[in-house]
């Protein structure tokens, strides 16, 4: 079962890419802040590279103005996420989270079996908004969709 509004972000070790690659505890990344986490099936894949991540990069300043940290999660290693961030010119401060072993993705209950496509276990396309480590909103996409978890949709959904 996937994480739901009202649940606390699970605590696992994950790699954070913000220039360098460093280990961090997932719960600590969400503690004491408003945070938007969006998950993508894979770095360098078409929808993720052409629409999902670019949308968050384009609207990053709007999230910052609302005091919301933004993080991107994928089941890829830190080096791939670092290269993807550089190729996409991700703004400084938008954290890329590399979940190479899918431990955080599984703890969230948001894994996707991409074996039929030669991709193995991946992250489902989703976005969640949390305050002080507690999920307030979760939007999980149907396969092949990008509507509910887009930057625009999440900005509208969390407008106060």
Residue 138 in any domain: the answer is: yes
Residue/partner pairs of 143-150 with CB below 8 Å, 24 or more apart: 146/47, 146/51, 146/52, 149/38, 149/39, 149/52, 149/125, 150/51, 150/52, 150/55
Residue 149 in any domain: the answer is: yes
Residue 91 in any domain: the answer is: yes
Count of residues making up the chain:
160
Residue 142 in any domain: the answer is: yes
Looking at per-residue confidence, does 47 or 134 come out higher?
134
Mean pLDDT of the chain: 93
pLDDT at 37 over 80: yes
- d(CA 104, CA 73) in angstroms, rounded, equals 9
> Do 5 and 138 contact (CB within 8 A), yes or no?
yes
> Is 72 among the residues known to form the active site?
no
Residue 1 in any domain: the answer is: no
Please write the tens of the pLDDT for every residue from 124-151. 999 999 999 999 999 999 988 999 999 9
The percent helix, strand, coil of the chain (3-state, each to 5) is 30, 30, 40
Residue 5 in any domain: the answer is: no
Please write the tens of the pLDDT for every residue from 90-131. 999 999 999 999 999 999 999 987 777 767 778 999 999 999
Domains in the chain, number? 1
Instruction: Provide the percentage of residues in the chain whose pLDDT is more than 70.
Output: 98
Residue 8 in any domain: the answer is: no
Q: What is the largest CA-CA distance in the chain?
A: 41
At residue 160 the predicted structure's pLDDT band, cuts being 50, 70 and 90, is low
Residue 38 is predicted with a pLDDT of 97
Please write the tens of the pLDDT for every residue from 68-96. 999 999 999 999 999 999 999 999 999 99
Residue 30 is predicted with a pLDDT of 98
- For residues 11-31, give the mean pLDDT: 95
Q: What domain range includes position 32?
A: 13-157
Residue 2 in any domain: the answer is: no
CATH number at residue 149: 3.40.30.10
Question: Of 48, 90, 108, 130, which is the active-site residue?
Answer: 48
């Amino acid at each position: 079962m996937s994480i739901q509004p009202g649940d606390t972000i699970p605590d696992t070790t994950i790699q954070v890419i913000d220039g360098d690659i460093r280990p961090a505890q997932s719960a600590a990344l969400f503690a004491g802040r408003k945070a938007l986490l969006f998950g993508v099936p894979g770095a360098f894949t078409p929808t993720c590279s052409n629409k999902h991540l670019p949308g968050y990069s384009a609207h990053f300043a709007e999230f910052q103005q609302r005091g919301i940290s933004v993080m991107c999660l994928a089941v890829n290693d830190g080096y791939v996420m670092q290269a993807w961030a550089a190729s996409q010119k991700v703004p400084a401060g938008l954290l890329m989270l590399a979940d190479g072993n899918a431990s955080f993705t599984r703890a969230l209950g948001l894994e996707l079996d991409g074996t039929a496509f030669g991709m193995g276990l991946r992250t489902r396309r989703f976005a969640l908004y949390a305050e002080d480590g507690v999920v307030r909103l979760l939007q999980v996409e149907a396969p092949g969709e990008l509507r509910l978890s887009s930057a625009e949709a999440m900005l509208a959904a969390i407008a106060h």
